[in-house]
Amino acid sequence: MIQTNQSSHPLVVREPQGRTPSQIRPLTIETGVNRYAEGSVLIKAGNTHILCTASIEESVPAWLKGKGKGWITAEYSMLPRATHTRSKRDREKVSGRTQEIQRLIGRALRAMVNLDTLGERAILVDCDVLQADGGTRTASISGACVAVAMALGKLAKEGKFGEQALNKIMVDTVSAISVGMLNGQVLTDLDYNEDSSGDVDMNFVITGQGNFVEVQGTGERQAFSKRELDLMTDAGVLACDEVRKVQLAAFERLAIRL
């Protein structure tokens, strides 16, 4: 249990199943859920369920043509009844929140691939939230990592990489988790109720080698100290290690070796 020394606050009680403050939600990654996409995953983090697909295009954006390197980009959307009330689809204009999350997912996934060895092809990732209960951006990243690995494995089996070994193209994994503070305690993998009522909200995106791709943190209701930041960072690192174990188990089922 990761806890600050603000013992005057009442203990936070988490969910009916009695999850500890440092415990992630039940996490599953089901692969091969779309028959057409080169890579596809259904990731379930508690009551957050997201379909992640990875599609290969044998071309790159115009600004990359002739440079001999590849690209990974992402789109993210939430189905109308993914939340408590129906939301409108992004038909004409993508919201600022959606754009931010798409860019975050793309940056995270590019950290796991050596784009110089991918060749002039693009991996297009779609993350569609079927049901939301907090942590949709972090679960999207963790699930999409496996979908991208599946797509790269398919390319390797088809001999598209020439003499390049898969592990020279997919150089790492990437996982993500939310961490926050509520009533003086550090909580890992926030659900919607915890996220909406928390004092501090952070997201960590970390590679399998332990390097940070992104750290997002906001004092929603109060500022936080350096010590509390360190505690949340430690919690994020430990939680991402747990997520990576589930990702690696999926890789093993797919016979993908790093």
Question: What pLDDT is stored for residue 3 in this prediction?
Answer: 40
Q: What is the pLDDT of residues 51-81, one digit of tens each?
A: 999 999 999 999 999 999 999 999 999 888 8
Average pLDDT over residues 155-175: 87
Say if CB 42 and CB 30 are below 8 A apart.
yes
Query: The tokens 């943190």 sit on which residue?
Result: 217
Whole-angstrom CA distances from 80 to 76, 87, 130, 131, 137 are 13, 5, 9, 10, 17
Tell me the one-letter amino acid at 134. G
Question: What pLDDT is stored for residue 5 in this prediction?
Answer: 40
The percentage of the chain sitting over the pLDDT mark of 70, rounded to a whole number, equals 92
**Choice between 13 and 190, residue whose per-residue pLDDT is larger:** 190
Q: What is the pLDDT of residues 166-208, one digit of tens each?
A: 888 999 999 999 999 999 999 999 999 999 999 999 999 999 9
Residues recorded for the chain: 258
Average pLDDT over residues 148-166: 87
Say if CB 181 and CB 198 are below 8 A apart.
yes
Q: Which structure tokens are listed for 24?
A: 């992630």
Say if CB 135 and CB 225 are below 8 A apart.
no
Q: How confident is the model at residue 163 (pLDDT cuts 50, 70, 90)?
A: low
Q: What is the pTM of this model?
A: 0.92
Q: How confident is the model at residue 1 (pLDDT cuts 50, 70, 90)?
A: very low
User: Which segments of the chain does DSSP mark as H helices, in order?
Assistant: 96-110, 136-157, 166-169, 192-197, 226-253
- Domain spans of the chain, in order of start: 27-253
Q: What is the pLDDT of residues 78-135, one digit of tens each?
A: 888 898 888 877 776 788 889 999 999 999 999 999 999 999 999 999 999 999 999 9
Question: What pLDDT is stored for residue 13 in this prediction?
Answer: 67
Q: Is the pLDDT of residue 15 over 90?
A: no
Average pLDDT value for the chain: 91
| Pick from 91, 145, 93: nearest CA to 123 | 145
CA–CA dist 89, 157 (Å, integer): 37
Q: Is the pLDDT of residue 4 over 50?
A: no
What is the second-level CATH architecture of the domain 27-253? 2-Layer Sandwich (3.30)
CA–CA dist 107, 207 (Å, integer): 12
Q: Is the pLDDT of residue 251 over 90?
A: yes
**Choice between 249 and 163, residue whose per-residue pLDDT is larger:** 249
Rg, the chain, Cα only: 19
Question: What pLDDT is stored for residue 12 in this prediction?
Answer: 64
The percentage of the chain sitting over the pLDDT mark of 90, rounded to a whole number, equals 75
Q: Is the pLDDT of residue 249 over 80?
A: yes
**Choice between 205 and 12, residue whose per-residue pLDDT is larger:** 205
Question: What pLDDT is stored for residue 48 in this prediction?
Answer: 97
Say if CB 38 and CB 220 are below 8 A apart.
no
